[in-house]
Structure 1
């Protein structure tokens, strides 16, 4: 047990003040002293981040609230959303970090949007949305009762993706792909699932004549019948000789599952070789449009309502209409 403090008793364990500077100090040998600066409030925030704890509730800067949001709210979100949120929080911290939460006003948000929008309008919209959610959490947690400064601040207009992948384009990339990527492409096309949902499928998810999926984004549950081309694909994947067989359906011959970054890298390489420009996620939209049946597409993709599916398809193929005569 460490010695009792004789000075600076108000500092948390693992934090020290020496010659006017604050430090984070490890409690086991060899002790490492990490400088935290001279500003007490900022030092407490840095200490909290290093300790993995929460800062003093009396500190009401954006940084303090962002730390609590990162600790309590971000982990409840989907894995991909967590990654995006952490990047977005770092952007917001760089601008708003030292500001008192009450001091953030709509004109600050507008200024941030305009500056950030010069480089990435879509990212600016996502960051404003996160800022708004952090602020709402600050209100719930009692840090402020001020009006959300994002209210009334318009985001940038975004145009949804309207890329339709033809059979010829799909085949051109497929021909340049390695076998594992081919499996992933075929599975994405036949099931209409998002890339992350395709990659997480395990062999145990194939049971009772169906492929059972719980979508990461919406938590929608789907049991896709293993018939026709999907049955042939499952048989093809299962019949291929392996050095090692793992739990994952989409895996290399050594048993390693195909991860998100490997998927992107291999797909980028294949499409460059094919001279075709579409994204892996566009395969989901191709599945939706190629069914020729909106009701079928809605069920396959897990959309909550038919309007969403209609918009999804119409953006890519256009709305079919009769001629004048």
Structure 2
């Protein structure tokens, strides 16, 4: 019996299939940010407790359309966007496994994403200015200038991290946008100039303290870098810092007994577009009016 148990074939589970996928050339071709997001999905899916234990350890034969639908609905109660991302990863794992004949049936077929209403929160000036004040007092030197640049230039978080010395023009800041949006230039004003100069001065100080030379090409000289490594700060690190500043802002609001409404970093782009006078679509970089309206 012991011999038979030792030599019995391993029962496929979501955990084993997911890890197998992560060892393939298909996985290695994915963007690093996508890999990180999928690894986070893997963690949340596999540690979910079901009626018979952890979902990650459940034999693949017991995965059904109904099981995935229930997982999706339950996860959506805490975060609809994460529920959809995790469903996308489950679909990717099962589709890959089915294509390579590791499973005989793909239980994700027919399972649809949750419908999510577009976020329409407008960040009030008082809420923004209060968090900006707390950010300036925090240990994360780059959070407040990132907030200001994102708001004033109507930028995404990833676009702020893309900024280099090459974006600085005499007339303003050249914004190279992602996701198909048009590049444009935001003219300098005192607030934008102050935030930009702060990042440049701090960046230069960090490199000087580390005795680390500046990259020769302007497009390689990132403006927001890590004090610990001297390298470009990664998106996940900036998100973590923003999260901690948000928590500190909530605590400060409670201590001062003021009402403060939290907002996301992407809300700053929405606020920037809403507060823009003139052609909002041109300022936002959106190619269509429908994109800008959302």
Task: Tell me which interval the TM-score lies in, with the shorter structure as reference length.
Answer: 0.5 to 0.7
For the pair 1:133 / 2:92, whether they are aligned, the reply is yes
Query: Residue 189 of structure 1: which of 151, 155, 164 is its match?
Result: 151
Q: Which residue does the alignment assign to 1:3?
A: none
What is the TM-score when the length of structure 1 is the normalising length? 0.61
Q: Distance in 2 between matches of 1:115 and 1:226?
A: 43
Per-residue displacement from partner, 1:278-319 (whole Å, max 9, x unpaired)?
2223112112222253422441xxx46432221x2xxxxxxx
What is the TM-score when the length of structure 2 is the normalising length? 0.67
Higher Cα Rg, which structure = 1
Distance 1:214 1:280, change over 3 A: closer
Q: Distance in 2 between matches of 1:185 and 1:242?
A: 20
Q: Is the 8 A contact 1:174 1:270 kept in 2?
A: no
Q: Distance in 1 between matches of 2:176 and 2:101?
A: 39
Distance 1:98 1:208, change over 3 A: farther
Q: Is the 8 A contact 2:203 2:225 kept in 1?
A: no
Distance 1:77 1:211, change over 3 A: farther
Query: Residue 227 of structure 1: which of 177, 182, 187 is its match?
Result: 187
Q: Which residue does the alignment assign to 1:86?
A: 39
Q: How does 1:64-213 map to 2 (within 5 A)?
A: 64-72=16-24, 73-93=26-46, 94-95=54-55, 97-100=57-60, 104-117=63-76, 119-144=78-103, 146=105, 148-178=106-136, 180-206=142-168, 210-211=173-174, 213=176
1:164 Cα shift? Answer: 0.5
Q: When you count helix as a share of all residues, which structure comes out higher?
A: 2
1:222 Cα shift? Answer: 5.7
For the pair 1:273 / 2:252, whether they are aligned, the reply is yes
SS of match in other structure, 1:71: coil
1:188 Cα shift? Answer: 0.9
Q: Distance in 2 between matches of 1:234 and 1:142?
A: 54
SS of match in other structure, 1:244: helix
Higher relative contact order (CA 8 A, sep 6+): 2
Q: How does 1:46-61 map to 2 (within 5 A)?
A: 61=13
